[in-house]
């Protein structure tokens, strides 16, 4: 058995973390194991599952590129764990900081993985951009979730797209599940349900989504908005305040974190994804696997479009246009099994996991 160290911020539920867990569940864990080096003092939402599958979770302080103490702690970790000859880093632009220390400590295989195609532009971004440029100098392999993500982070260096693959069969539409989930959430079976899955961060553009839903309510009084994601942080509080200001409190459902996102999507009629930037947008792929029509912004890579039910709309078109398109898409849609299309496009997890497993094993032998 070989053990690959996945370096992350945390292992809470999120797109990156869900992608990793999909691969982890699908590899042959008798010959390959994932362990996780996190930058938070807790194991996260996936912690118990990781340990049950034989994985280990380590903790370091928050990644600070200017901190000698942090780099010393990172170096001590690598020196103390020579069993990790392969390190796969998912730390965005700051991956170069970790890769540099890993190289200095003799780690043989050093992988950088790009999960975004842009960043919020501020002082922190300028610092990250500085460190981003060093990534190709210290990585032995570059992965990206999409072509846009690779071009943005690696600036001309050669990279490999590793698909954000999913268990497509888990999302297959089922009328019985739709009825059960709507009953659980106290949604009438005849209501028009607008759906979204994602953490409450500015990147996901929930504020615009509320504007869209406000316009939908003017046209469809029985519409409901289903928001799946951790709703306890400051950004979520701001969105809840906006919902109340618009008089939408009784029409918006905040589910909090759910481990059964595939069930939540059964209850939706249309999936709206107005992100300001994305590396790929795995939840849009999951929505397509559920047979949902999807509205994505022009900032989401078109690579995530697998079925014809995806429409890419400029954010500049405004909330009213988005609302009209969402209503039309929901009413005209006929839900069906799209798993064959997902697999044909190369996004089913089984084949992708075999490829990644073979990659890790072949790199070890070189």
> pLDDT tier at 289 (50, 70, 90 boundaries)?
very high
CATH homologous superfamily for 168-344? Glycogen Phosphorylase B; (3.40.50.2000)
User: pLDDT value at position 365?
Assistant: 66
User: pLDDT value at position 222?
Assistant: 96
CB count within 10 Å of CB 262 equals 20
Q: How many helices and strands (H and E) does the chain possess?
A: 15, 13
CATH code of the domain made up of 2-165+348-365:
3.40.50.2000
Alpha-carbon distance of 7 to 260, in angstroms, equals 25
Residue 123 has pLDDT above 60, yes or no: no
Rounded to the nearest integer, the mean pLDDT of the chain is 94
Fold match between 2-165+348-365 and 168-344?
Answer: yes
Residue spans of the domains in the chain: they are 2-165+348-365, 168-344
Q: Using one digit for the tens of pLDDT, what is the confidence trace for 238-284?
A: 999 999 999 999 999 999 999 999 999 999 999 999 999 999 999 99
The string of DSSP codes covering 100-156 is HHHHHTT-SEEEEEE--S----SHHHHHHHHHHTTHHHH-SEEEESSHHHHHHHHTT
Q: Which of 301, 324, 323 is nearest to 312 (CA)?
A: 301
Q: What is the rounded average pLDDT of the residues 44-70?
A: 96
Q: What is the rounded average pLDDT of the residues 60-67?
A: 94
Residues in the chain: 366
Alpha-carbon distance of 309 to 273, in angstroms, equals 13
Tell me the C-alpha to C-alpha distance, in Å, between residue 41 and each of 47, 58, 61, 75, 249: 12, 9, 7, 18, 35
User: pLDDT value at position 232?
Assistant: 81
Three-state secondary structure of 10-76? CCCCCHHHHHHHHHHHHCCCCCEEEEEEECCCCCCCCHHHHHHCCCCEEECCCCCCCCHHHHHHHHH
CA 127 distance to own-chain centroid: 23
Strands 310-313 and 2-7: unpaired
User: pLDDT value at position 15?
Assistant: 87
User: pLDDT value at position 245?
Assistant: 97
> pLDDT tier at 198 (50, 70, 90 boundaries)?
very high
Q: Which of 113-122, 216-225, 231-240 shows the lowest per-residue confidence on average (mean pLDDT)?
A: 113-122
Residue 347 has pLDDT above 80, yes or no: yes
User: pLDDT value at position 129?
Assistant: 82
User: pLDDT value at position 32?
Assistant: 97
């Amino acid at each position: 058995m070989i053990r690959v160290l996945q370096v992350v911020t945390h292992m809470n539920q999120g797109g990156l973390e869900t992608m990793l867990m999909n691969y982890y569940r699908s590899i042959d864990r008798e010959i390959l194991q994932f362990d996780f080096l996190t930058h938070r003092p807790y194991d996260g939402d996936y912690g118990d599952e990781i340990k049950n599958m034989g994985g280990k979770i380590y903790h370091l302080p928050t990644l600070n590129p200017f901190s000698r103490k942090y780099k010393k702690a990172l170096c001590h970790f690598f020196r103390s764990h020579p069993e990790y000859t392969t390190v796969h880093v998912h730390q965005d632009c700051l991956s170069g900081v970790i890769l540099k220390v890993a190289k200095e400590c003799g780690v043989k295989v050093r992988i950088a993985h790009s999960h975004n195609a842009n960043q919020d532009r501020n002082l922190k971004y300028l610092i990250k951009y500085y460190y981003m440029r060093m990534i190709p100098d210290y990585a032995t392999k570059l992965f990206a979730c999409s072509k846009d993500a690779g071009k943005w982070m690696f600036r001309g260096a050669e990279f490999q797209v590793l698909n954000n693959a999913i268990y497509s069969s888990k999302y297959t539409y089922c009328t019985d599940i739709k009825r059960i989930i709507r009953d659980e959430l106290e949604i009438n079976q005849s209501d028009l349900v607008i759906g979204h899955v994602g953490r409450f961060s500015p990147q996901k553009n929930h504020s615009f989504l509320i504007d869209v839903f406000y316009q939908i309510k003017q046209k469809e009084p029985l519409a409901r908005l289903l928001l799946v994601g951790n709703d306890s942080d400051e950004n979520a509080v701001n969105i809840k305040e906006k919902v109340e200001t618009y008089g939408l409190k009784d029409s918006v459902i905040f589910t909090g974190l759910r481990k059964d996102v595939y069930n939540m999507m059964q209850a939706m009629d249309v999936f709206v994804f107005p992100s300001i930037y994305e590396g790929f947008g795995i939840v849009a792929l999951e929505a397509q696997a559920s047979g949902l029509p999807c509205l994505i912004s022009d900032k989401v890579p078109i690579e995530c479009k697998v079925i014809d039910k995806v429409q890419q709309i400029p954010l500049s078109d405004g909330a009213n246009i988005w609302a009209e398109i969402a209503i039309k898409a929901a009413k005209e849609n006929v839900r069906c099994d799209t798993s064959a299309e997902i697999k044909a496009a190369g996004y089913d997890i089984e084949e992708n996991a075999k490829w990644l497993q073979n990659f890790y094993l072949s790199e070890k032998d070189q």
